[in-house]
Structure 1
Amino acid sequence: MSQSAHAIVVGNEKGGTGKSTTAMHIIVSLVRDGRRVGAIDLDARQGTLSRYFSNRARTAVRRGVRLPMPEIAAVQPTDNPDADTRKLMAILENFAPRLEFVVMDCPGHDNPLSRLAHNFADTLITPMNDSFVDLDNLADVDPETFEVLKPSRYAETVWEERKRRMLRDRGSVDWIVIRNRLSQLDARNKRRVGDVLEKLKDRIGFRVAPGLSERVIYRELFLDGLTLLDVMDDDSGVEVSMSHIAARQELRDLMDALHLPAPETRSEAS
């Protein structure tokens, strides 16, 4: 792939971690900032990201408003992995020379399409719920000492794809683990998860960033295909609350933590 777009991959081999919600908010944040963005739903069988954008398009028509949109594509896995790979590569070849960012939302399990996406990632974002259930996707942890015993299968998959990427084009991957659905209740468990992530991050090579808290607003916005940034508009039809304002600040903090290329510094070749 003659790559110029910065590839952002949202991946985790566990479902229910907020991958599609995270991807949607990153995409809309970039589009609203005037960036040229392509969105690829690699979990098209479930199709959460695709449905999100369908809902968004219907809301724009129904309310007679303009909602910024990316270019959208989807790949539904079939029994022919080679054909699936060719379809994804064709989409990337179309998007990469024209756009600044390509955001790929991966399924919550291992498959060839997900591995290929990880191989092309410039920024890899792994959302996880703030619990040891989700932490198990990154490492085996001793239940008594909370020491890291070994990296998990997903961490090993990321390591393998990073090596392949280095061999292919000498490119590097900025891997960011974001802690979604942070709870204010179980402070001790939250601290223990944070301690394990600190021990693990240098061992397997990722950064840790704050994600999106557990808020009802994220589930409500899905039906209209809206994001936190949209509801702050006067014509959104949504009454803004303090929860919206706090959540918008979380999103801003997340976008800052990603360290994505600015327009004037974007590389034209990788």
Structure 2
Amino acid sequence: MTTETWLDLRNVEAWLGDRPVLHDLNLQLKLRQSTTVLGPNGAGKSSLVKLIDRSLYPIVRADAHLRLFGSDTVNLWALRNRLGVVSSDMEQRLHPKTTVEEAVVSNFFGATRLGRDQKPSARQWEQARDLLDQLHLHSIRERCCGELSDGQRRRLLIVRALVHQPEVLVLDEPSRALDLQACHQLLAILRRLIQAGTTVVQVTHRVDTIVPEMERVLFLAQGRLVGDGSPREMLRPAELSELFNTPLNVVEAHGFRQVLPG
């Protein structure tokens, strides 16, 4: 099993407009070590995802660096072959009149719709349809994105992210707005991906969506890393109560945890 570090942050600080959103981040994430970043709303979780997908840049400092797969400089096209990101920003970019199938195959070109000069190969169409089938979207492949439910859109974004067969899949609040059935379907997909060897990083405020295959849990609060350890160490009443600043109890069953008022 490889222990290559795919994300290396040292003394990273980032701002959005005129306000700081991340402070003095020191973090290493390794391949084949699936991780959940947990924290309350406003903790800086989405800003961390933006750092990873290079839509947010850190403050330049002599004692700081951000390295992806060992490199300080990133070729964004090459990065797509190693890293897939699912975020609300990408969901908003889906054109409501684009079909599900086109939304997937267009990502071979880094787009959300096929342009006149973008002609997918037979192999690319086949790969897109195979992925749609694996995530139970094949029956709606000709429907428009604007007609999809929240759960279907979330699975579609995962299919798009997987077309390049990335080593790492980063998901920003993947269960947001999903009902119970759609959420459970999503969790089953994440479990299969991790078991098949994909490194999954889930960014969330929901303890109940942390699948048993997660090996590491990071706590993020007010733009700072405030905790790091195994799920058994981190997902306990005292630790979660401090993170969310409210009394909490934890119930565990079949590797999942549910948080109750303390």
Indicate the TM-score class for this superposition, using the shorter chain for normalisation.
0.3 to 0.5
Identify the structure with the greater helix proportion: 1
Identify the structure with the greater strand proportion: 2
Q: TM-score under structure 1 normalisation? A: 0.33
